[in-house]
Structure 1
Amino acid sequence: MSTPAPSQPHPSPVPPAGREARRLGVALATAVVLVATALALPSSGVERTESLRASYEASKAARGLPHTDPAGTPLHTHDPRFKNALARGGESGAQTLAPADTARTRAAQRYVARERALPDPTLTTTAVRRALPRVPTDRFAMAGGCYTLTAPDGTGLRLQGRAAGTGRAQGLRFQATDLGRYLLYAGPGRFVGDVDGALGVATAPSSATDWIVTAQGEGFAFRLPGGAALQLSRSGARLGDRPTPLALRLGRGCAVFPESQIDITGRPFAGTTSFQEVRGFVDAHTHGMAFEFLGGRAHCGRPWHPYGVTYALVDCPDHAATGGYGAALETFLSGEPSHDPVGWPTFKDWPAPESLTHEGTYYRWMERAWRGGQRLFVNLLVENNKLCQVYPLKKNSCDDMDSIRLQARRMYEFQDYIDAQFGGPGRGFYRIVTDPFQARRVINAGKMAVVMGIETSVPFGCTFKAVLGTDVPACTAADITRQIGEMHRLGVRQMELVNKFDNALGGVAGDNGTTGVIVNGANFLETGTFWDMRHCEPADGESADKTQYALPDSGQPAQDALFGAVGELFGGLLPATPLYPAPLHCNRRGLTGLGEHTIRELVRRGMIFDPDHLSVKARQAALDVIERVDHPGVISSHSWSTADAYPRIYRAGGFITPYAGDSTGFVDKWRTHVGWADERYYWGIGFGADINGLGAQGDPRGADVRNPVTYPFTGLGGVRVSRQHAGRRVYDINRDGVAQYGLYPDWIEDLTKVAGRRGADLFDDMARGTEAYLQMWERSVGVAPDSCRNPDLARTPAQLRRLVRPGMTTTQVLRAVGQPYRRLGRESGVCVRGADAGARAMATISFSPAGRVIGLRA
């Protein structure tokens, strides 16, 4: 059940002081100057910018690409053409709406239809969280509950104004700040704790109100981080050295702690066994810990805060202090000159689909996505060292690997925080997993499996410097091997080789437009060379890298007029980029020997390789390696590959999650990918949200369309989904689009509306996505494909009986005989061949509830 919004929030964090405040003041002044410059460029600068824009639009029109921005539109990068393109790695025309081989396409479509007709696994439900006990049995069980505190002599803790006293025990809200730690909340601005050395009622949470609870005798001891303990007796309530063991009992009338609502009713679905086929949606590309990247000051808000939503969902200090006018980065990215800096509880301007610097994955929004059917989530650790160095505010190291290690640590802290809210270790919905077998158990338990991945520009320190026309790498093969081992031990299982810069592993696809100009300049600072984009004419007419700004017949490096305007905004921090020849463009840099070594090291550990962001040349070479070593663990996670690569990924046994974007664009991508399905592998599809990764989210279609989402609707597993409330904001996918992560169940419902009569097919394919990802992952760690879709792998019944023995676990059976064609309840089905080479039959392996073989019918 959703928690009602409080009538008034508790106070927001205090502003920084001292040296940090002075640094913030300088940055604010700089930001104000930058924004003022952007809004008041001399007419000659505007004319230069518009002239180049007009030339670029003319070049697009000549190639049959749609016009997007009229003259005078603020410069921005969340261009819906690329958000909804089949391949974000290059501009794609109408020919990408269907694969070229129509016979192959029709066969794939028929195969997918047969897949949808297969029996679905039987699902059950599970509780959202364990019920609050009348008397807590451990130090985690009281999370979120209303409890009284009573000493052994019967004395109860009771508040008297701002003082803490004794009397009839008063109910207090136990708001978890971490596992076994709580705020004792009595209402807005009322927190039990140390007030000037005495037990009292503080106006705001702090370390002086953050109680560490441990078991003591038949009760619980309460201490503050500084060591002061809660003492309670008939002589009064005070702080002392030795805590009084206190009994907790469910109370009544407690204040409600401020929190974003869920607005989904019904129990989450789960499997009837821990090893059966799963259902659920999969997002294979999001940046949940992005609040720590780019130095930790560019991103506003964070997915959790020990003291709750009023501290987590606040704007950046440089935004708030200027009323939203000092947000230079947000202004540049969104094209809007200002925004309302207030987050909780009004959320007037953010989060929003086009607001790219504000938090989108707050934990309650993640919880709503899980409650709405999401069961697998890939969190990518992300960094860009040069853009971090350019940004004036920072608190963290800009080194890519330092940032990745920090973000990985934050993922485990986030898991602990969610566990704390749900009543103890392992009880939260967010479960970090490190192999597909563990992931299957987590999902069948009704929780969300979280995979850790990497998407960064300089992984393992593998940059290079161009010296006299030669690339000198800053890393060795031994460095790569050592650090991949470290990342694997940390939990990383999915990885891209490049992001925004060329590096010692390979070339990048680049970026387009204003973003391309800036990132290309940063690429020069990092490597000593710009992207080596050459004119190319790909065989399919579309599989190229990002189109750079170019003037007709321009082949010589020159000052880019648009970059001149950007240079004015950023004070000339980045060098001028060259003009490139006429499109299409392909980066001449391909996969290096170190890049191939990296892929082979990923393969050796059964990790999942993502070729997104590589240049076409590098990606083709990378997929050549994947095919030579026969590694099925390959994924394009957010449409930063090109159309030539997608069929190869499917043929390898890989999986694809197109960039989410607008619902209309995603439906087009889904139709296209169905035509590439490979009959040898289980079919399903997911999405890559890229939220918090400077990727725009899906825009609303409008409340006045003929087929809007109607609330409430029935979600996956039968849950009832209503409009979400967050404080005083009410979200409606028709009006707001994917403003934040909690709206992805609504977005999937919108997909079904856009797909019309094919909506049920699309929903089925999306619900099968998590199983498809798990099967790809199983193959990547050495499990053979199933013998029904791959008849050459079928064994005789006698061979199967020799391989499958009573007492084997489901994982041992997988490794012995490969993936089953059917995993329903406690039975798995595999194909066997008879004396006639063309004859096949289904053998059934039966398991105990604990997942041990108890029978075989072949």
Structure 2
Amino acid sequence: MFRRRPGIRTLAAVLCAALAVGLAQAPAGAAPPESEVNAVGEPFTGTAPDGSVRGFVDAHSHLFSYEAFGGRMLCGRPFHPEGITKALADCPDHLPNGELALIENLLRHGSPLGTHDPVGWPTFEDWPAPDSLTHQQAYHKWVERAWRGGLRLMVNQLVANRQLCEIYPLKQNTCDEMEILRVQARRTLELQEYIDERSGGPGRGWFRVVRTPAEARQVITGGKLAVVLGVETSEPFGCRQTFGIPHCTRGQIDRRLDELHAMGVRSMFLCHKYDNALCGVRFDSGAQGVIVNLGNLLSTGRFWQARTCTGPEHDNPIEPGGVIPDFLAGLLPPPLYPPAPHCNVHGLTGLGEYALQGMMRRGMMIDIDHMSVKAADRTLDLLEAAGYPGVLSSHSWMEPAYQHRIYALGGMITSYGFGSERFTEEWRRTEHLRDEHGVPGYGYGLDANGLGALPPPRAGNAGNPVRYPFRSFDGGVTLDRQRTGQRVWDVNTDGVAHYGLVPDWIEDLRLVAGDPIVRDMAAGAESFLRTWQAAASR
């Protein structure tokens, strides 16, 4: 990591060295550089003896979030038509040493001050890393390694946040959330075409965007990765609100739902981070909560509104003294909050109920993560009254007391991608619920490229490390340490630095909890398909 701003001579030396490396690695007529996959063998095809598909499910990641928030906040792309040297490059404003990478520094160090080596390909000295949240975590070759290691279904969450986009000073894209969702849906299909071109032609690639559970089952049976489109956005359908006044209508909701469904979207959040005209949100806590609460003020005209909960369910607490930063304390009157436990006073609105009914009519799945307990409770009441099974909790942002209601409906729950020990604790804690309701599998929501940390290396793993090479869960693929350019990653020391290390993390889960956790996770794709099929056939 750089400690001071380099001088002109230092920059010149770096540029010359980079040029020399590029010339040495790509002589005239040679194939362009590319990341290694470091996985040898044939992925599993077909089904288990009972006809179920086998493979892991990631119900929550963001392959194309670099297009969101103005298109300049996140650095790098899952692919670039000109190759890896363009795809895995740092943001221009991070040069020359990361001092101006304010969002990266805030998220990684808790302070706007910090530095990092901005060089991506081929050295990757400082990124990707589990806690480097503004750098690309899901390059397509890394996702390919995860697929070869057993991933069979991924929900690619199209994401947007108008307020964050408008606040961030650097931008090249619109802040219109619906337009950014359209862009990301197109990018997903472009990645499918890109992989097809490198796999022998249309339809031959391992990355397949699917629109129906039957299509997904066919793709997985063929040994490929089924990609479902989801939406996680703060103002779906343009349904923001100002001082409680909605900015959308029922007709607007119907038109946008029709458009999203035609785009292939099959899973959706009704609210995310800020209260909107559809529902109130589950609060963020700590330093992040301060920032998000300010965003709620700018988005809705008011800070979060909370009461002391009277029942066992509650939202995340709003930290005492963590309402507004000190430098704004003289400019904004701070809100006063009652004692914890805190519950958002806002739940599912009339427009929110209308949108929910519209999603059910279209056979879409409703993700209740990020809903306030008041909103989630009402949502589950409506789903239970209709007997509708299409409900998800994809990345541990829901009141745990609702898990039994989701499973009873036939819904699906996937845990956030925690470190190995915490993830296995959550798997064990909920095992009796899955047994009670006959749920066949378990999954994860890694939230890659979602401004959330990836799994860190397991503490104290020296006595029981992942040993390379290791075999995939089905025994068909051998995986060694992953190499991209000059960097080689090892999950024991690097954690899940990028998506390609997910198979290594799952092997680490096996070391912590044994073969049963891997068997449950290998049934995760089947479990998701059953929920989707039950919703789509209503």
What's the CA shift for 1:538? 3.1
Larger Rg: 1
Check 1:731–1:480 CA distance in 2 against 1; reply closer, same or farther (3 A cut). same
1:594-643 Cα offsets, whole Å, 9 max, x none, are: 11111111111111110110001100001111111111111100011111
Counterpart of 1:722, as a letter, is D
| Paired position in structure 2 for 1:327 | 101
Alpha carbons 1:381, 1:455 under 8 Å: kept: yes
| Paired position in structure 1 for 2:162 | 385
1:274-299 Cα offsets, whole Å, 9 max, x none, are: 99321000000001001101000000
What's the CA shift for 1:747? 0.5
SS at match of 1:687: strand
Alpha carbons 2:72, 2:91 under 8 Å: kept: yes
Verify: 1:445 aligned to 2:205, yes or no: no
Question: TM-score, structure 1 length as denominator?
Answer: 0.58
Q: Out of 286, 301, 319, which is 2:76 matched to?
A: 301
Verify: 1:774 aligned to 2:529, yes or no: yes
What's the CA shift for 1:187? 7.3
SS at match of 1:772: helix
Alpha carbons 1:660, 1:689 under 8 Å: kept: yes
Looking at structure 2, the residues matched to 679 and 534 of structure 1 have their Cα atoms a distance apart, in angstroms, of 34
SS at match of 2:483: strand
Q: Out of 254, 257, 266, which is 2:32 matched to?
A: 257
Alignment of 1:97-246 (within 5 A): 188=26, 190=28
Check 1:627–1:720 CA distance in 2 against 1; reply closer, same or farther (3 A cut). same
Counterpart of 2:198, as a letter, is Q
Alpha carbons 1:274, 1:440 under 8 Å: kept: no
Q: Structure 1: any 5+ residue segments left out of the alignment?
A: 1-7, 14-184, 191-253, 552-559, 784-858
Looking at structure 1, the residues matched to 169 and 102 of structure 2 have their Cα atoms a distance apart, in angstroms, of 11
Alpha carbons 2:149, 2:473 under 8 Å: kept: yes
Alignment of 1:693-772 (within 5 A): 693-702=450-459, 704-718=461-475, 719-755=477-513, 759-772=514-527
Alpha carbons 2:208, 2:227 under 8 Å: kept: yes
SS at match of 1:675: helix
Looking at structure 2, the residues matched to 492 and 575 of structure 1 have their Cα atoms a distance apart, in angstroms, of 40
Check 1:577–1:334 CA distance in 2 against 1; reply closer, same or farther (3 A cut). farther
Alignment of 1:151-550 (within 5 A): 188=26, 190=28, 255-271=30-46, 276-320=51-95, 322-335=96-109, 337-466=114-243, 471-539=244-312, 543-550=313-320
What's the CA shift for 1:273? 10
Alpha carbons 1:702, 1:708 under 8 Å: kept: no
Check 1:334–1:186 CA distance in 2 against 1; reply closer, same or farther (3 A cut). closer
What's the CA shift for 1:260? 0.9
1:419-462 Cα offsets, whole Å, 9 max, x none, are: 11112111111100001000000001110000000000000000
Check 1:358–1:11 CA distance in 2 against 1; reply closer, same or farther (3 A cut). farther
Counterpart of 1:343, as a letter, is G
What's the CA shift for 1:189? 7.0
Alpha carbons 1:632, 1:654 under 8 Å: kept: yes
Alignment of 1:65-104 (within 5 A): none
Check 1:10–1:268 CA distance in 2 against 1; reply closer, same or farther (3 A cut). farther
Tell which has more relative contact order, 1 or 2 (C-alpha 8 A, sep 6+).
Answer: 2
Verify: 1:651 aligned to 2:421, yes or no: no
What's the CA shift for 1:482? 1.1
Deviates more, 1:409-418 or 1:487-496: 409-418
Check 1:660–1:306 CA distance in 2 against 1; reply closer, same or farther (3 A cut). same
Alpha carbons 1:384, 1:500 under 8 Å: kept: no
| Paired position in structure 2 for 1:794 | none
Counterpart of 2:408, as a letter, is R
Looking at structure 2, the residues matched to 352 and 594 of structure 1 have their Cα atoms a distance apart, in angstroms, of 41
What's the CA shift for 1:721? 1.2
Looking at structure 1, the residues matched to 446 and 200 of structure 2 have their Cα atoms a distance apart, in angstroms, of 29
Looking at structure 1, the residues matched to 442 and 509 of structure 2 have their Cα atoms a distance apart, in angstroms, of 13
Check 1:614–1:272 CA distance in 2 against 1; reply closer, same or farther (3 A cut). closer
Looking at structure 2, the residues matched to 275 and 412 of structure 1 have their Cα atoms a distance apart, in angstroms, of 33
Check 1:561–1:510 CA distance in 2 against 1; reply closer, same or farther (3 A cut). closer
Q: Out of 296, 312, 325, which is 1:563 matched to?
A: 325
Alpha carbons 1:386, 1:525 under 8 Å: kept: yes
Q: Out of 630, 635, 639, which is 2:387 matched to?
A: 630
What's the CA shift for 1:10? 7.0
| Paired position in structure 2 for 1:663 | 420
Counterpart of 1:328, as a letter, is L
What's the CA shift for 1:561? 7.7
Q: Structure 2: any 5+ residue segments left out of the alignment?
A: 1-16
| Paired position in structure 2 for 1:620 | 377
Looking at structure 2, the residues matched to 12 and 332 of structure 1 have their Cα atoms a distance apart, in angstroms, of 32
1:323-368 Cα offsets, whole Å, 9 max, x none, are: 1111011111111711111111111111111111010000000000
What's the CA shift for 1:717? 2.3
What's the CA shift for 1:403? 1.0
Counterpart of 1:581, as a letter, is P
Question: TM-score, structure 2 length as denominator?
Answer: 0.92
Bigger fraction of residues in helix:
2
Counterpart of 1:307, as a letter, is E
Alpha carbons 1:274, 1:444 under 8 Å: kept: no
In angstroms, what is the RMSD of aligned CA positions? 2.3
What's the CA shift for 1:521? 1.3
SS at match of 1:691: coil
Alpha carbons 2:208, 2:226 under 8 Å: kept: yes
Looking at structure 2, the residues matched to 424 and 503 of structure 1 have their Cα atoms a distance apart, in angstroms, of 44
Looking at structure 2, the residues matched to 768 and 407 of structure 1 have their Cα atoms a distance apart, in angstroms, of 29
SS at match of 2:273: coil
Counterpart of 2:232, as a letter, is E
Bigger fraction of residues in strand:
1
Counterpart of 1:549, as a letter, is E
Looking at structure 2, the residues matched to 577 and 426 of structure 1 have their Cα atoms a distance apart, in angstroms, of 56
Check 1:440–1:12 CA distance in 2 against 1; reply closer, same or farther (3 A cut). farther
SS at match of 2:415: coil
Looking at structure 2, the residues matched to 370 and 717 of structure 1 have their Cα atoms a distance apart, in angstroms, of 12
Counterpart of 2:293, as a letter, is N
Check 1:576–1:669 CA distance in 2 against 1; reply closer, same or farther (3 A cut). farther
Alpha carbons 2:294, 2:324 under 8 Å: kept: no
Looking at structure 1, the residues matched to 385 and 276 of structure 2 have their Cα atoms a distance apart, in angstroms, of 24
